[in-house]
Structure 1
Amino acid sequence: MTHLPNSMEARDIAYHFHGYTNAVRHAEIGPHIMENGEGVFVTDNTGKRYVEAMAGLWSVALGWGEQRLVRAATQQMENLSFYHNFGHRAHPAIIELAEKLVDMAPVPMSKAYFTNSGSEANDTIMKMIWYRSNALGKPQKKKLISRNRGYHGVTIASGSLTGLPNNHLSFDMPIDRVLHTTCPHYWKEGLEGESEDQFATRCAQDLDAMIQAEGPDTIAAFFAEPVMGAGGVVVPPSTYWEKIQAVLAKYDILLVADEVICGFGRTGRMFASETYDIKPDVMVLSKQITSSYVPFSAFLVNDRFYEPVAEESGRIGVLGHGFTGGGHPVGAAVALENIAIIEERELVKHAAEVGSYFRSRLSTFADHPLVGEVRGIGLIAALEVAHPNQDIAPGKMGAAMADYLLQEGVVSRAMMDACAFCPPLIISRDETDLIIDAVEAGLTALEKHEF
């Protein structure tokens, strides 16, 4: 596609190095440029309006243009535009936020640590797990287990936890000490004749067998999203978490619940750890914590995790880790206001109710000849698109569906043959109907299309 010289598209091609993009293809077609946002809608530079059915990147809980967040950021910039938390320093916003997060956690937590993204948070947790093992006199207890198709970030360490091939290929990843076990996707991974409960049992047995093979004394922690996001919106079988936690308890292995996508109402509870009765040692928070108005993240740790780390810092004289922007006052102020709005407007309850309506409507496509599975919980869902021609290479159908939805004015996200939906928590029933209408049109178009 040819773009006019000096156009925004041409300048983007010339100067902007994109993430999660085919760079060669990008040089040919250029960017899709969004200019404005209001509520659940975004508008591109041609004036076309879209339902942003992915909340940006699973993250804009309050939608676009929430003036209370703008004012919170502006006021904090006027009062104290920056300060750090190195060397015993602090500021009011970060103290208030730490207290708020610890108090609202669904299981007892001790402290909040602040970072700038989910990747940084998980990377930091990995370092602190190794630090903790050394503090406990267990230098061999360093291996970490995550899951195939799991997503925990893209830094060298957190990207190694991520269990998606394209996050590893040509990057010389994953690093050692990181292992991957079974993805809990019954529709794809279940064996013929195997019930969901039997599949959950097998997932737990696979984990137990891996721990035994590696040596229980070498495994430090298990990282998992309560509901898997980028791996395809994988909702675990009903007994999965009960059985997995029993295995971890058997071998004294820490549990890290990655709530980066699930936290702050996405599953119809404030945290997905409540939804699935998960009792983590660490909770990872980002994305919806500020509705992504400001890059910000945090993780919460319990006493079991914190105390050996604190004691080791006393022995050494310092905890030699931190970020200039960790606990940034503007991010902390926006997070506090964002959480206040979620609570005041009862958006967790709203997400549960509207999510149930949306998923019930999406489920009407379950018998469509191009639909393999409809899945989801709360206000997050996916449509697995299949094609009767078994010669079609895997991965094409999700992208084709997402392209048709975009034409119909809906932004979704393709993940192999799945098309994901994760709209802002504020979305109304009528607005979800716009997504459903687009899905219906997309399936009709795909059915007629010759691959």
Structure 2
Amino acid sequence: MSKPLPNSIYARDVEYLLHAATNARKHEETGPIVIDRGEGIHVFDDQGNKYIEAMAGLWSVAVGFGEKRLADAAYQQMLKLPYYHSFSSKSNEPAILLAERLVNMSPDKLSKVFFTNSGSEANDTVVKMVWYFNNARGKPNKKTFLARVNGYHGITMASASLTGLPVNHRDFDLPILPVKHLTCPHFWRFGLPGETEAEFTDRLAAELEQTILDAGPDTIAAFIGEPLMGAGGVLPPPAGYWTKVQEICRKYDILIVADEVINGFGRLGTMFACEYYGIEPDMLVVSKQITSSYQPLAAILFSDEIFQGIADNTAKIGTFGHGFTAGAHPVATAVGLENLDIIEERGLVAHAAEMGEILQRELRSRFTDHPLVGEVRGVGLIGAVELSADKATKQRFDPPGKAGAYLFARGHEHGVIIRAIGDQIAFCPPLIITEPEIMDMLDRFALALDETWAFVRGA
């Protein structure tokens, strides 16, 4: 790992930058790994070390690094119209075309689009839109959101309140919204002794309905959830979960918000995870793979019913008093259009389904019986290996994250960048990954895993 040498770029990083999701004091000691360039599924640091980017950056680089077509799309749009806003009835062609394309490729119920710059901004906007809509339709008490423990929806004040991860709340005085966090739908960790998966699903459905009844259905605005939970540890829901959630929400006039910031655009082997799980959302949030994160962009797709309520209220009060300077940015939306062209032309959704079967098979066959592994899970090209201090009892490490942090660091030494979510190790490679590259990625991971096993045993 790079060290903060005097007068070096590393020392300047330590002096001037505060890093996200980082122990700042530890960073002062170690310095950064400075990523210099990328090519395909690989990135290279400024010392020439080559890494398989097994997390596609942050769950996001669908078409791989160094894709010239996306650079060209940005360049050409910058020459023509480098920036404009969407306030006061202004628009631009790439934003219009991308909105149309998103509506045509998404679940049938969704007919309108609002652009933001990140998934966090999008989910923050979802809260405001839902409140605005309910005020407009004469239901001002319908303000509380239902979310889940371990769910991740962003880091703004509103979206971090929806997030169900303690590290995103602690010492930020969050949550600030009226939000109720329900049991995490992870059967292996939260199922009761002797409980079947079907019984677990029924218990979570009963908890959802009882929470609504206890609060009063007229106070519950929306249920927000990732179809497959990502940053909480790659947690596929139990069978039948989303069917029951939707039935209960429809019964009590509660909007369903599908957060596909990580799931969308092929990650599970379908264009959207809503298709995979049979979800019919009122609102759908996308980001990350919409541009392969070459440009900041996110979008909220929502139903005509919500649009009509919002539109009527803008006529009543004179405006929709919300928006971002860079919302519907012409360069970002132009890159989004080109990125979707690449995904479709190269058949990357079908490719992700094919490679996903290989990834899931190899993760399970190679690591399920490893003495350090409690569970292997995932769908498509997203997977996780959860480390456990005791396989039989599912015991967590003390302190939590001890093994995961060591494994994360050993991965770097073996040329693979994974993500440690506590002691859960996530994989989310670019959609372009091939079978030989999957094998190479897992070979490198296996070396790091074995070294971590020796570490936790004190060998």
TM-score (norm 2): 0.96
One-letter amino acid of the structure 2 residue matched with residue 206 of structure 1: E
- Deviation digits for residues 385-417 of structure 1 (CA, Å, limit 9, x no counterpart): 112495733322222222222211100000111
Corresponding residue for 2:16? 15
1:371 to 370, 373, 389: 373
- Which residue is 2:146 aligned to? 145
Sequence identity, in percent? 54
The more displaced of 104-113 and 325-334 is: 104-113
Alignment of 1:158-169 (within 5 A): 158-169=159-170
Q: How does 1:192-231 map to 2 (within 5 A)?
A: 192-231=193-232
Distance 1:115 1:31 in 2: 30
CA contact (8 A) 2:109 2:281 kept: no
Consecutive unaligned residues of structure 1, counting only runs of 5 or more, are none
Instruction: Report how far residue 30 of structure 1 moved.
Output: 1.0
Please name the residue that 1:3 is paired with.
Answer: 4
* Alpha-carbon offset, residue 65 of structure 1: 0.6
Shift of 1:367: 1.1
Q: Secondary structure at the match of 2:389?
A: coil
Q: 1:49 to 1:62 in 2, by over 3 A?
A: same
Count of residue pairs the alignment pairs up: 451
Question: Deviation string for 1:60-112 (max 9, x for gaps)?
Answer: 00110101101110110011111111111111111101100001102321210
2-structure distance, mates of 1:62, 1:217: 44
1:403 matched to 2:404: no
The answer to which of 206-215 and 146-155 deviates more is 206-215
SS in 2 for 1:3: coil
**In the aligned structure 2, how far is the partner of 1:39 from the partner of 1:60?**
10
Q: Distance in 2 between matches of 1:143 and 1:260?
A: 22
Q: 8 Å contact 2:124–2:156 — kept in the other structure?
A: yes
Q: Deviations over 1:426-445 (max 9, x none)?
A: 01111111111012212221
- Aligned equivalents of 2:5, 2:447: Cα separation in 1: 32
- Name the structure 2 match of 1:394: 400
Instruction: Return the alpha-carbon distance in structure 2 between the equivalents of residues 238 and 304 of structure 1.
Output: 30
TM-score, normalising length from structure 1?
Answer: 0.98
Counterpart of 1:88 in 2: which secondary structure?
Answer: coil
SS in 1 for 2:275: helix
Aligned residues of 2:374 and 2:390 also touching (Cα < 8 A)? no
5 Å matches for 1:164-179?
Answer: 164-179=165-180
Q: Deviations over 1:274-332 (max 9, x none)?
A: 00000000000100000000001111000122111111011001000000100000001
Question: Where does the alignment leave 5 or more consecutive residues of structure 2 unmatched?
Answer: none
Instruction: Give the aligned partner of residue 95 of structure 2.
Output: 94
What is the alpha-carbon distance in structure 2 between the residues aligned to residue 90 and residue 215 of structure 1?
Answer: 41
Amino acid at match of 2:369: D
- Distance of 1:406 and 1:193 partners within structure 2: 40
* Aligned equivalent of 1:76: 77
> For 2:103, what is the secondary structure of its paired residue?
helix
Structure 2 equivalent of residue 383 of structure 1: 385
Once the 2 structures are TM-superposed, how far is the Cα of residue 363 of structure 1 from its aligned partner?
0.5
1:14-46: CA deviations, max 9, x gaps? Answer: 011111111111111111111010000000111
Matches of 1:414 and 1:253, distance apart in 2: 35
How far did residue 349 of structure 1 move?
A: 0.4
After superposition, what is the alpha-carbon deviation per residue over 1:212-262, rounded to whole angstroms, capped at 9, x for unaligned? 111110000011000001000000012110111111011010000000000
Question: Where does structure 1 differ by over 6 angstroms across 4 or more consecutive aligned residues?
Answer: none
Q: Say if 1:260 and 1:285, in contact at 8 Å, map to a contact too.
A: yes
Q: In structure 2, what is the Cα distance between the partners aligned to 1:157 and 1:188?
A: 28
Which residue does the alignment assign to 1:441?
A: 447
The letter for the 2-side match of 1:295 is P
Q: C-alpha root-mean-square deviation of aligned residues, in Å?
A: 1.2
1:2: Cα distance to partner? 5.7
Instruction: Find the aligned partners of 1:249 and 1:94 in 2 and give their Cα distance.
Output: 32
The one-letter code of the counterpart of 1:420 is A
